[in-house]
Amino acid sequence: MLGRNPHRLELFKMGRCKDLPDGNESWVDEESRRRYETMTQLISPSSDVDAESHTPMTPEDAFILVIGKDRPGHVHCAGSGETLSTWYKSIGTSSSLERERIIQEQLKA
């Protein structure tokens, strides 16, 4: 499909949007479409006058800002049975492992 593991913003869209044969998209609800658009705006470089003050976010950071932090035993958009440790081990990057540690510390606070 993508030749790599999709990030959660892509998983969010895959689970809530269907690409139609005519090139249009069919969203399960308006709220999902609005959240996806907000996340894509956060990760896109801005062409506005304020472009210098706008630093694009990573897809993961945009997802967390719009959808919310994961909780132990539940990872948003990852399917049933995924936990923080299984999700971040499955995508397998050192930055992901660091992000997992940070998220777990934030959850403890």
* Sequence spans of domains, the chain: 1-44+57-68, 69-109
Distance of alpha carbon 77 from alpha carbon 54, whole angstroms: 27
Give me the amino acid identity at 20. L
What count of other Cβ atoms lies within 10 Å of the Cβ of residue 70?
24
* pLDDT value of residue 69: 82
pLDDT in tens, 28-85: 999 999 999 999 998 887 655 455 566 778 888 888 889 888 777 666 666 666 666 6
Pair 103, 84: CB distance under 8 Å = yes
Partners of 19 in beta bridges:
25
* pLDDT value of residue 36: 93
Pair 70, 46: CB distance under 8 Å = no
